[in-house]
Amino acid sequence: MKLIEGQVAVVTGAASGIGLGMATLFASRGLKLALADIDEDRLNAVSDELAQGGAEVLARATNVADAADMQHFRDAVLERFGRVDILCNNAGIVSPFRPLWENPLPDWERVIGVNLWGIIHGIRLFVPGMVAAGRGHVVNTASMAGLIVVPWNGLYNAAKTATVSLSETLRADLEAAGSAIGVTVLCPGLVKTAINSDPTIAALIPPDAVFLEPADVARQVVSAIERDQLYLATHHGSDELVRTRQEQVLSQVRRVP
Ligand SMILES: NC(=O)c1ccc[n+]([C@@H]2O[C@H](COP(=O)([O-])OP(=O)(O)OC[C@H]3O[C@@H](n4cnc5c(N)ncnc54)[C@H](O)[C@@H]3O)[C@@H](O)[C@H]2O)c1
């Protein structure tokens, strides 16, 4: 789908990092913005700055893991703009790296709540209207952790793998329904954002690791929307990681004769 001035882009987790990068690029292309984030102060600051730059912005403090909160956000977006063209289910969090079985219940609930239920609520609440309108594009932010296993990151791996599966299924279901709506599952490697500041994660990142800027990721997202690309792995070398994983699967799934 081509980006056209006046279209409406919804972005969750828009107050920082990749979400802010996408919102900023959409604004520079003349799109109207509907922004959600749990951090109300930062969201308002970001929204004011984008509005000063000329964008039309609706900003709502929203917890994407909360069904009622997301429903209020959806209602406010439709009341203000009456349409949604691009939906970016992007908000996400991490938890400390540790062996899977040592994760406490609140961490499971937080990570699955934000990273998986956030995507589910976005799809559930916004996609029906997009299907009815017959146009649009959905971008779900997963991670390379949705395509390969990152040790000690099991909660996040589980939510991001499910996000890849939801995106693939959404694409298949839309195609089967004859809908023209596109889907992209965004699978970044390391990006320079606040999410990597947890000390247990930062300690494991090799010194020569390549970090992209959020603006680089945003440019790739726009290109994926315009080319209707389902999988978007942002970093060089991602294809090799995916190939190795698939070969591992294939080498072990053969039936014993
Ligand atoms: N930065 C990376 O290296 C990287 C790599 C792969 C995937 N990702 C994914 O990119 C997405 C964006 O993360 P980022 O790197 O920009 O991090 P970030 O911390 O800069 O931004 C995440 C935003 O989400 C918001 N948020 C957190 N919980 C929320 C909730 N319950 N409801 C609404 N908003 C909430 C935060 O306030 C923050 O503004 C996440 O889904 C993350 O998993 C990031």
CATH number of the domain encompassing residue 223: 3.40.50.720
Pocket of ligand 1 (CB under 6 A): 12-13, 15-19, 36-39, 62-65, 90-93, 114, 141, 143, 188, 190-191, 193-196
In a domain, 188, yes or no: yes
In the prediction, which pLDDT does 255 show? 72
Does 193 have pLDDT greater than 80?
A: yes
- Residues in a beta bridge with 88: 11, 139
What does DSSP assign to residue 166?
H
Mean pLDDT throughout 140-146? 98
- The answer to whether residue 2 is domain-embedded is no
Cβ–Cβ under 8 Å, residues 212 and 191: yes
Number of domain units in the chain? 1
- Residues recorded for the chain: 257
What confidence tier does 253 reach under pLDDT thresholds 50, 70, 90? confident
CA distance linking residue 227 with residue 249, whole number of Å: 30
Q: What is the pLDDT at residue 149?
A: 95
Q: Partners of 233 in the beta sheet?
A: 187
156: annotated active-site residue: yes
pLDDT at residue 198, as a whole number = 80
Q: Which residue's alpha carbon is at the smallest distance from atom 14 of ligand 1?
A: 17
Which ligand 1 atom minimizes the distance to the CA of 14?
39
- The pLDDT of residue 254 is above 80: no
Give the mutation target among 22, 35, 37, 185 for probing the ligand 1 site: most ligand atoms within 8 A of CB. 37
Nearest CA to ligand 1 atom 43: 92
- C-alpha 156/C-alpha 174 separation (Å) is 27
Q: Dihedral (C-alpha) 121, 45, 141, 112: value to the nearest 10 degrees?
A: -50
Question: Is 3 contained in some domain?
Answer: no
Q: Is residue 64 part of a domain?
A: yes
* 230-253 mean pLDDT: 95
Inside any domain, residue 165: yes
pLDDT of residue 152: 95
Tell me the pLDDT tens digit for each residue of 207-224. Answer: 899 999 999 999 999 999
Range of the domain at 151: 8-253
Nearest CA to ligand 1 atom 42: 92
Does residue 58 lie within any of the structural domains?
A: yes
For residue 101, which amino acid is it?
A: W
Mean of pLDDT values over 59-79: 98
**Which SS3 state, helix, strand or coil, does residue 189 take?**
coil
pLDDT in tens, 78-126: 999 999 999 999 999 999 999 999 999 999 999 999 999 999 999 999 9
Q: Would residue 208 count as lying in a domain?
A: yes
Taking 90 as the threshold, does the pLDDT of residue 45 lie above it? yes
Average pLDDT for the chain: 96
